[in-house]
Amino acid sequence: MLVGALSHSGRFRGVFCEQMTFGHLAEAMHRVLVELGGTPQLWRTDRMATIVIPGTERLTVDAAQAAKHYGVQITVCPPRRAQRKGVVEAAIKYLTRSWWRSAPVTTMGQAQRSLDRWSVDVADQRPGPGGAVGAVGAAEPLRALPAAAYPAMIAVERKASRSALVAFEGNRYSVPPGYAARTMTVRARVGEPVLQIVTATGELLATHRRAPAGAGQLVRSVEHAAMLEQAVLAAFTTEHACRRKVNRPPGQEALADLARLKGLTTAPAPVIDLGRYAALEVAC
C-alpha cells in the first residue's frame, strides 16, 4: 500500500507499507514529512477508519494523539466535495501514468527507491506558476518536526520458515529452531531501532536490531545460530537409508485378472521361434 502526501505547491512524496494499520500509517507519514522537510499546520485526510471513527466526524484516539505530537490540526474531507478530492486523485493518476506503469520493480524495496528517484527527478521538475514544483515546494513555510516520530506500535503476524526465520519489511529475523513453522507476532515501535518477536501467548522469543525496510538483510543472533547448528547435527544419523522398492512386473495371475476385467481374451500370447527367422535368413 502507498501512503502519500501532497503539499500546497503540488510536491508529492510517498512511502510503501504492507498494511493499513495505524502503526504502519504513522511510520509512513513520518517518513513522508521527513522527505518534505517539515509539516504543515493542517493535515487534510480522507475518511479512513484508522483516522476517523466510522459513522462519525471524530478522530480516533491514536490520530488525535499523533496530531498533538506533531502540533497540527487534522481536517477530514467533507463528503460530496469532488473538487477537493479531485486534486489528490489527479496526483495519483499522474503517478500511475508517469511512474507505476513502467517501473522496473519486483520488490517493495525496489519500488520505494524507484519512487524516491522519480519524485525528485521527474515530479519535482514539473513547471508551475512560480517555477519548478520542487523549488517552490522547498520554499514553503513548513513547521519543524519533533525530535522523534510518534511512537505508534506496529504488530503483524508471521509464520516462521523451516530455517527458523521470520520475514518482516523485506528482511528476515531469526527465532529459536524449535519454533520453526509456527505463527508468531512481530512488534516494532515507530522510531525505535529494535523489534521483538513474541508467541501467540505473549512469550518473548527474540529481540533484534531493526534493519532498513527493503534491505534484504538476514539478522540471526549468535545464540539462534548455535541452536540451529545443534538441531541440524542432531538430525543426522548413521543408520542405513530405506531400501528402494523393487520394480516387480505383474505376474500371470494379475495379467489374467486384468484381461478378465477388461473383457479381453486370456489366451497367452504366441511364442515367437527365433529359429524360423534364422532359417529364413539362410534361405535368402
- Bin 98: left if φ > 0, else alpha if -120 < ψ < 50, else beta: alpha
Distance CA(143)–CA(154), nearest Å, equals 26
The cell numbers describing 117, all together, are 528517484
Mean model confidence pLDDT for the chain? 87
Contacts of 166 (CB under 8 A, 6+ apart): 158, 159, 160, 172, 173, 174, 175, 184, 186, 197
Tell me what pLDDT residue 57 has: 82
* Residue 166 parent element (H or E): strand 165-168
Average pLDDT over residues 44-57: 86
CA 266 to each of CA 146, 249, 253, 262, 272: distance values in angstroms, whole numbers, following the listed order: 92, 18, 10, 10, 18
Domains of the chain in sequence order: 2-138 (3.30.420.10), 153-234 (2.40.50)
CA dihedral 138, 144, 148, 153 (to 10 degrees): -70
Distance CA(165)–CA(167), nearest Å, equals 7
pLDDT in tens, 61-92: 999 999 999 999 998 887 776 666 677 778 88
Distance CA(198)–CA(207), nearest Å, equals 9
Distance CA(90)–CA(1), nearest Å, equals 18
Tell me what pLDDT residue 4 has: 78
Is pTM, for the whole model, over 0.75? no
Average pLDDT over residues 160-168: 93
Tell me what pLDDT residue 136 has: 85
Residue 266: pLDDT band (50, 70, 90) is low
Rg (alpha carbons) of the chain, rounded to whole number? 33
Q: Is residue 112 within 8 Å of 103, Cβ to Cβ?
A: no
Is pLDDT of 194 > 80? yes
Average pLDDT over residues 258-265: 80
pLDDT in tens, 87-130: 777 888 888 899 988 898 888 888 889 999 999 999 889 888 88
Residue ranges with strand state E in 36-164: 42-45, 73-76, 127-128, 131-132, 153-159
